[in-house]
Amino acid sequence: MTVRVNGVRSVAVDVCALDTAGEFYSSVWNLDLVEAAGDARYFRGTGPHHHVLSLHPARRPAIRRIVFEAADRDAVAALYAQVRASGAQTEAPHEWTAPGGGFGFGFKDPEGRNLAVACGGATHSSASVPDRPHKIAHINLNAGEYDKTARFMSEALGFRLIDESARARFLHADCADHFSLAIVKAGNATLNHIAFEMIDLDSVMRGAGRMRDAGYPIEWGIGRHGPGDNVFAYFAGPEEIPLEYTSEVLQIDDRYVPRGPDYWKFPPGRSDQWGVTNPPTARLARIQQLFRFTDDGFRT
Ligand SMILES: [Fe+2]
C-alpha cells in the first residue's frame, strides 16, 4: 500500500531584501517570527508546526524547498522507499539540525523541484485565531511535464487525484482537506502560488483590507473556487511572490466523488462561483510563472 504525506509542513523562500520581506510577513501577512538563525528567518502560523515559512537571503527570489508532513518515522521510511523507487535523486532520512528540527529527507522531483518529507520536531499548541494564517493550506505548482509530475506526486508521495479541471489536477493528502497540492498545466516548473489558510471568511476579508492598506491590491478575488470550494484572495507579495489567503476549504472523506474537466467549468466571463470578482489580473498571470526553484542542493 502506498504511504501518504499529510499535507504541507512548510515552505522555504529565497528573497533579495530579507528585512523588507520579514517585516511584511510579520506585520502585514500576520505570521509570527519564531526564530532567526544565521541569515534565515522562520515564521509560524497559529497551527502546530514550528514554522510554516522560512526566508533566506539570495541574489534572486526563488522557491528554495517545499517540506511535506509525514505521520511518523515509519511513514518517513516508507515514503523514502517510494521516492527511491521512483528513481528520484534523494538523501537518506536523518535528524534535522535546522530550527524546528524533525526527522526526514530531501529529494528532487522529476522536474528538479527541491522537496522534502519530515515528521516530528518542535511544535506549538495549535489555536484558532482570527486574522492570522493557521497553516499552509496548499501549494500550486506549474508543471512543464504535467503527467509525469502528477504521477510522481501520486506514486512517490501518495497524493490522490481528487478533482481535475482543464488546467489543473487537485491532489488530496492524508487529511480532510480537499487538496493540499495542485499541479497546473504550464510550460515550466515554476510556482503558481502558496495559499495560507485563515480560520474564516471574515479573516480573509479583513486580511485583504489589510493588504490593500499596505499597498498590496487584490489581484484576483474575493471569490470562491470550484474544486475545493474554498474562498480566495490573491496578491503579489514581496518581490512579487504569488500569495493567497484562503478559508472554508472543503473537508472530505472517502465518500467524496471526484469530477473531471467537463464538470469543473464556469460560464463564459466567470472565474469563480459568485461572479463578483474580476478575472485574474495580467500581473497575477505574469507572476504565477515568475518563481523558479533555486538551483541549490535539495539536501536538508
Ligand atoms: Fe489556491
138 CA distance to ligand 1 middle (Å) = 6
What is the rounded distance in angstroms from the CA atom of residue 107 to the CA atom of residue 77? 14
Going from the Cα of 156 to the center of ligand 1, the distance in angstroms, rounded, reads 23
| CA of 281 relative to ligand 1 center, distance in Å | 15
Does 296 score more than 90 pLDDT?
Answer: no
Cell of 17: 531584501
d(CA 95, ligand 1 centre) in Å: 31
Provide mean pLDDT across the span 36-61: 97
Cα-only R_g, the chain: 18
How many whole angstroms separate alpha carbon 250 and alpha carbon 137?
11
Enclosing H/E stretch for 34: strand 32-37
Residue 11 C-alpha cell reads as 515552505
CA 152 / ligand 1 centre spacing (Å): 21
Quote the ligand 1 centre to 196 CA distance (angstroms): 9
Q: Backbone phi, then psi, for 7, in 5-degree steps?
A: 140, -165
pLDDT, tens digit, 9 for 90 and up, residues 86-145? 999 999 999 999 999 999 999 999 999 999 999 999 999 999 999 999 999 999 999 999
Q: What are the CB-based long-range contacts (under 8 Å, 24+) for 215-218? A: 216/28
**27 Cβ contact list (under 8 Å, min separation 6):** none
Cβ-Cβ contacts under 8 Å for 12 (sequence gap 6 or more): 53, 54, 55, 56, 63, 64, 65, 66, 67
Stretch 36-48: mean pLDDT, rounded? 96
> Around ion ligand 1, which residues have CB less than 5 A away?
195, 244
Q: How far is the CA of 83 from the centre of ligand 1 (A)?
A: 26
How open is the CA angle 288-294-295, to the nearest 5 degrees? 135
Task: Compute, in angstroms, the gap from residue 190 CA to the centroid of ligand 1.
Answer: 15
Q: Which amino acid is at 83?
A: V
Q: Cα(30) to centroid of ligand 1, in Å?
A: 18
Share of the chain above pLDDT 90, in %: 97
Checking if the pLDDT of 300 tops 90, the result is no
> C-alpha grid cell for residue 213?
492598506
pLDDT tens, position by position, 224-256: 999 999 999 999 999 999 999 999 999 999 999
Q: In sequence order, what are the beta bridge partners of 11?
A: 53, 66
pTM of the model: 0.98
Here the cell at position 147 is: 503527467
Using the structure block, give the residue that is written with the C-alpha cell 495580467. Answer: 282
By 3-state DSSP, what share of the chain in percent is helix, strand and coil, each rounded to 5? 20, 35, 45
Distance 125 CA to ligand 1 centre (A): 26
**DSSP state, residue 292:** B
SS3 (DSSP) at 190: strand
pLDDT of 295 reads 83
Check residue 53 and give its pLDDT: 98
